[in-house]
Structure 1
Amino acid sequence: MAAIMSNSEVTYLFDPLCGWCYGATPMLDRLSATGVRIELLPTGLFSGAGARSMDEGFAAHAWSNDQRIERLTGQVFTPAYRHNVLDISGTLLDSHAATLGISAAGLEDPSRRLAALKAIQRARYVDGSDVVTTSGVAEVLAAAGMADAAEMLKAPTETLLTAHRELVGRGRALFQRLHADGVPSLAVIRNDAPRLIGSNALFGSFDNLVAHIAAA
């Protein structure tokens, strides 16, 4: 099984402001540790037309889901996140800056996308920090040792913007091709034929997830 996994490659569809994606991060770490190559593709779920303002009803809904995710995965959603993010009415739930930051981090080395995603998730859900503005995300990336990505984010070049559009476009196209019903979603692509692995597999046992990937 270890040999099979070390030769496997999966594609992970996500949005950096998705609480369930934060909950799935430990599984990504475990997959990566077994030698599985993981390509991260953002879908832009909460950017553009998907962005929305935070209000009391949405905040309550989000916190309820977050508590469920914490019980299921052990990923922590702190009081700082609740007070500084959810309880600030009128703030935007907009993942554009965070997604662009992840694109910047992976521009030369795609393997850095996961490190950037984890830094942004920790900043939001643990530290209660701003990750919806360019300046906030740049600060997070710089603190995570990705000062080059932070500088690119503050003054994006056409090269970065083009690569970002292509990355999100690929994510959205695959999402639609798979008929996925949300993020996070995981796919195994062999011979240009993607196979969707149900998101439930990311929140069950690791052995079950490995079996799904091996069988795909």
Structure 2
Amino acid sequence: MKRLYYLFDPLCGWCYGAGPLLETLVQRSGEQLQLLPSGLFSGEGARPMDEAFAAYAWSNDQRIERLTGQPFSQRYRSEVLDKPQQMFDSGPATVALTAVHLTAPQREAEALKAIQHARYVDGLDNTAIAVLLELLRGLGLDDAAARLAQPDAALLQANSARVAQARQLMRELGAQGVPSFVLERDGQRQLLNASTAFSNPEAFVAQWLAA
């Protein structure tokens, strides 16, 4: 039995940059692919969107766009980065994705793409529950939206368990950040070399399928 874990954070620009690769993995890997949010920018990892951090983020985003072709719009810059009252907190989006995982797991990657596009292209604040609810409903993920609108203990526990699993894998294998890809085969786990993940997604997929 072979499985690929994709460790990510919905506010990670490099994870957005890996979007084309993730789409290919979903098409080629099916149920062998499992998404695990790392909680990197939630909880203690959350922070205010101040001017210095916004400038750093935009500079980094431009590197990602040059390397991957994934767009970061001027609307994102003005409506998200230049709004110091907003928090840089992936907690709400992470819970939204867990709600999708519990109600329509085969569509979690699709929901992640929509959440990322809303921020980086449409310039929407995807840290806001109202925005996330509208996105989920727009995708027809009404059950997930209902769970997110009134999060119960089961949803929050599932979310914590997913984040804990991702962090355990990162510690176990020495992953330095996200996105990271972990191959599990016959009970053994290894961190895949992601050097081609952005420059040549097809080569990375071939590496995974041949492993």
> What is the aligned counterpart of 2:62 among 64, 67, 88?
67
Q: Which moved more, 1:12-21 or 1:74-83?
A: 74-83
Q: Give SS of 1:76's match.
A: coil
User: What letter corresponds to residue 91 of structure 1 in structure 2?
Assistant: Q
Q: Indicate conservation of the 8 Å contact 2:2/2:185, yes or no.
A: no
Listed one character per residue, the Cα deviations across residues 1-38 of structure 1 (whole Å, up to 9, x for unaligned) are xxxxxx85311000000000000010111122224532
Q: Paired residue for 1:45, among 34, 40, 50? A: 40
**Deviation sequence 1:50-100 (CA, Å, 0-9, x none):** 001111111111111111111111111111111111011142100000000
Residue identity matched to 2:120? Y
Counterpart secondary structure, 1:200? coil
* 1:197-212 superposed matches below 5 A: 197-212=192-207
Question: Which region of structure 1 is more displaced relative to structure 2, 59-68 or 204-213?
Answer: 204-213
Match of 1:4 in 2: none
Q: Distance in 2 between matches of 1:83 and 1:154?
A: 28
The alpha carbon displacement at 1:189 in A equals: 0.6
Q: State the number of aligned residues.
A: 210
- Length-normalised TM-score, structure 2: 0.93
Matched, 1:136 2:131: yes
Partner of residue 153 from structure 2, selected from 150, 155, 158: 158
Output the CA distance in 2 between the equivalents of 1:71 and 1:41.
26
Q: Which residue does 1:145 correspond to in 2?
A: 140
TM-score by length of 1: 0.91
The residue aligned with 2:17 is 23
Secondary structure at the counterpart of residue 39 of structure 1: strand
Deviating more after overlay: 195-204 vs 150-159? 195-204
Check whether the contact 2:54–2:82 (CA below 8 A) recurs between aligned residues.
yes
What residue number does 2:77 align with?
82
Question: 2:93 is matched with which residue: 81, 84, 98?
Answer: 98
Question: What is the CA RMSD across the aligned residues, in angstroms?
Answer: 1.6
Task: Give 3-state SS (helix, strand or coil) of 2:183's partner.
Answer: strand
- Partner of 2:44, secondary structure, is helix
Unaligned runs of 5+ in 2: none
Gaps of 5+ in 1: 1-6
Q: Does 1:167 align with 2:162?
A: yes
Larger relative contact order (CA 8 Å, sep ≥ 6): 2
* CA distance in 1 between partners of 2:193 and 2:83 (Å): 34
Regions of 4+ moved over 6 Å: none
Question: Which secondary structure state, in structure 1, belongs to the residue aligned with residue 196 of structure 2?
Answer: helix
SS of the equivalent of 2:33 reads: strand
